[in-house]
Amino acid sequence: MIVVLDFGSQYTHLIKVAFDSIGVPTEIVPADLKYRDYVRDGGRQLKGVVFSGGASSVKLNEIAFDRDWLETGLPVLGLCYGHQLLASLYGGSVGKEQSEFGDTKVDVLETGELFAGVEQRQITVWMSHNDSVLSVPDAFRVIARSASGAIAALEDPKRRLYSLQFHPEVSHTESGTAMLSNFALRICGAQPAQKWTPQAFVEQRIPEIRAFVKDRRIIVGLSGGVDSYVMTKLIRRSVDKDQLVAIYVDSGLMPTQTEFEVERFCADNDIHLQIIREADRFFGDLTGVTESFQKCKVIGKAFIDAFEVVAKQQRAEVFAQGTIWSDVVESGVTKFSSQIKPHHNVGGLPERLNFDMLEPLRYLFKDQVRKIGAYFDLPDYVVHKKVFPGPGFAIRVQGEVTRERVALVRQSTEIVEDVINNSPVSRDVWMAFSILVDVPSLGVKGDKHVKNEQAIVIRAVESTNSMTANFSRKVFPYLAEISKKITDQMEIGRVVYDITDKPPATIEWQ
């Protein structure tokens, strides 16, 4: 067992996912948990400790870390914030030098134990930090530096202490899983057990769902996204047909084709479906709401109110939704995490609900959900469904949400998707969409001066699980066609392309 002390990183759960992929059991605990309490509460036979990244600064000393974790003699691996904390605890200094975000070149100076098997002397890693280690603690040695000269990796093999300024747990870091494997297997001596597989997950979850639901009726929120499709299929495999009703809420904020796909999915999988028309309610509640966090809360409440009405009609006592871990962690609900944005199905939920909540995919990431969908042999339109936000086009409209403004962003998004989805790069693009922004600009149409009151931003990213993303360069050959169609077919005179990675940006603008 390897324990991960969670200092609030957006990527902490990805550390567990990486260790799961090599078959090493992992447990995540709050960073301020005392070692004696962990042992007293039945702590497993530990082989090593990982300090995660975090949103705070080591210099602020905001998290009460128990140094007894360092007295155990167990191998320790610090990542990002954990790298800086480890250096600070052993006498090094941490301060502001040069921020680094996204893809960063790192020179491997010494192979050491962490980089065993990593053949390249320069690798691309994923950075996300403001502070850096400025001076090296005694007995530690620098084994990697970034192109800027920042200390990227440290080790003290005699005391089995290791640290990386970058994030080996994210897919963008070259040989990242190999580094974590080196720590777990070579340094800690952990023995691989069962690796995570979609089959093992399904076989474990089905009896758990049956035990939770029992003979009660259950409604599921079927939004038309891959998470809700896979969740609904999993529950259908777990309960009798007449126990389950899928609910699609027509909020007026969704893509045109979603309702048709939902109807097709339920017909193909022998699932009862009820469609609720609530567009007037959603647009009414959003009147005058301009702030994005508040939009999510308004939309979350409107969804839950609709589900509660249906639950009463259906005499259902259980409600299921397709929440996944990226929704949870970005909503800032773990102990030391920072709220990036409130997801409508997490941060937008009311405190009290009139039914029991079931979220069978809560601790998974999007790529794992897709693997389960493939295991279920679900069709391509489900497994490879492009990601779409639960609040719909409301968070792709800057300012107040109206039917007219939603119609604009819907039409422009359909143009973007039509071009990209019919191109050879479709499978490489995680999301491709448009955002309507209130940015005035000058223009000329028909030899006349015009003032454009709004602009369309095109956003296309490549990702594995939404936690990190690169803006897509592969769509460059198609941007001119997209811009031409938008400006020809719509009352839009300015189209721009967003070339920002996540981090420092989020994928969505709101």
Shared fold status for 198-384 and 403-497: no
Active site residue 266: no
Is 131 one of the annotated binding-site residues?
A: no
Which residue out of 13, 167, 172, 344 is catalytically annotated?
Answer: 167
What's the rounded Cα separation, in Å, for the pair 208 and 234?
11
Is 225 one of the annotated binding-site residues?
A: yes
What SS3 state is found at 39?
Answer: helix
The pLDDT tens digits of the residues spanning 217-241 come to: 999 999 999 999 999 999 999 999 9
Domain layout of the chain by residue ranges: 2-186, 198-384, 403-497
The pLDDT tens digits of the residues spanning 232-269 come to: 999 999 999 999 999 999 999 999 999 999 999 999 99
pLDDT at 329: 63
pLDDT at 347: 47
Is 483 one of the annotated binding-site residues?
A: no
Which residue out of 169, 359, 462, 508 is catalytically annotated?
Answer: 169
Phi-psi region of 107 (alpha: psi -120 to 50; beta: other; left: phi over 0): beta
User: What is the fold, at CATH topology level, of the domain defined by 403-497?
Assistant: GMP Synthetase; Chain A, domain 3 (3.30.300)
Is 226 one of the annotated binding-site residues?
A: yes
Is 248 one of the annotated binding-site residues?
A: no
Is 162 one of the annotated binding-site residues?
A: no
On whether the CB atoms of residues 281 and 309 are closer than 8 A, the answer is no
Whose CA is closest to 83, among 133, 26, 22? 133
User: What is the fold, at CATH topology level, of the domain defined by 198-384?
Assistant: Rossmann fold (3.40.50)
The H-or-E segment that residue 250 falls in is strand 244-250
The pLDDT tens digits of the residues spanning 25-67 come to: 888 899 999 998 888 766 568 899 999 998 888 888 888 899 9
Q: Does residue 89 register a pLDDT over 70?
A: yes
Residues 6+ apart with CB under 8 A from 92: 133, 134, 135, 136, 137, 140
What's the rounded Cα separation, in Å, for the pair 242 and 44?
42
Pairing of strands 218-221, 244-250: parallel
Q: Who has greater pLDDT, 451 or 433? A: 433
The pLDDT tens digits of the residues spanning 481-503 come to: 999 999 999 989 999 999 999 98
Superfamily of domain 2-186: Class I glutamine amidotransferase (GATase) domain (3.40.50.880)
What's the rounded Cα separation, in Å, for the pair 244 and 112?
55
**Mean pLDDT score across all residues of the chain:** 90
For the whole model, what pTM was predicted?
0.76
Active site residue 384: no
Is 252 one of the annotated binding-site residues?
A: no
Which residue out of 80, 188, 266, 296 is catalytically annotated?
Answer: 80
What's the rounded Cα separation, in Å, for the pair 412 and 212?
43
Active site residue 462: no
